[in-house]
Structure 1
């Protein structure tokens, strides 16, 4: 009991002393602490995460398909093989889902050139390849656009002079970047008709200055990530065969 009383008295004296003392900041020092791989791995911790790491590496390195050549988004002025492939994949993987949910037919696809984040190297296509091409969590959204918005989309493509991936649309421009001809599924654009265009959620909100999506007739999120669409497509085909074609050309 006496010990407890003495301990309480010492604690009170300590707090009283602390209150009476005044501290003044005299100096602030900083130093660089480099982060390197020189730290030793904790064997106990590593043994816990190893099964998960091994499973992740196994999944990422699973071979899905094959690329006969190397494909880059820089290989083409107005349409590229890799961009055409991505647009075609989104169309192929989305049209059935969209039709079953709405009973509407998908008319086309537009994506952004900057959204292609890696090449497809010649050789095996793995799950990792899909993550490298599309590291973001962007999902597919189908947007209902009147023909006048499709006209605005064509003007956008001509004005920005980039190989934005498209599918279902054709556009020809002259040397001054004026539109010579444009169509949807081989037919002239009907300004009164509603077209259904698949894109990603980033572009729907005006990303890459695609403001023509703002004045739309409705949006239909498919809850389907771009990356997952790529993976599902690669699983279906033994060998990819993307080509540069005439969907967007300068004459």
Structure 2
């Protein structure tokens, strides 16, 4: 279970002190700056490994395509079909979705593998529990959405984003500023913060359960030792739930990306 190696800290009175985010975000593996976090850290290693895993898997799965697929080819085609049909085709539409399938597929599986790294022993770190990684992913989607909107719609794109259809003209003085803030500021922030917050929160909860179990089993006395069984069971349940959330958040992030792309391709709000 994640963070079982984390020591349960004790305060001056010998009580339990829960792990903090800085306890989970480990020091740099190869530091090259004076400030903490400026070198090559475990989070960067997880990002690079995730990209390599996704690339190698799909290259191998598609290398020897045959009419009767091998097990690996079947898994690769099923994974690709999941994103292609349930996200790309259903959200963007049958006429427009094909050019965007590679982007959506890459996003989904890159985020998925990064998230699942938080549940793998030794790695035990979802890369998107660092807010900078989530900002980078959402920023890439945000720029794609803006550039595509202007390329497809020209100046109408701004009107599409700011002036909802059917709103009475007197209300536009209120609606337009709200739409501007919502679409051009809140949208990229919520897109990134949703991924970051769920990954960090889930990782922290599991770490707290693990550290609490260690404290109750090995440092607490009397009947408190028996409560360690409850925290262990709770930690395992949260671990399984976190795996579900890791998959779900990869899907949600990719789904919203498809929604934004679809909004850039049509003239209606």
TM-score normalized by the length of structure 1 = 0.24
- Larger helix proportion of the pair: 2
Compare CA radii of gyration and give the structure with the larger one. Answer: 1
Larger strand percent = 1
Q: Tell me the TM-score normalised to structure 2 length.
A: 0.23
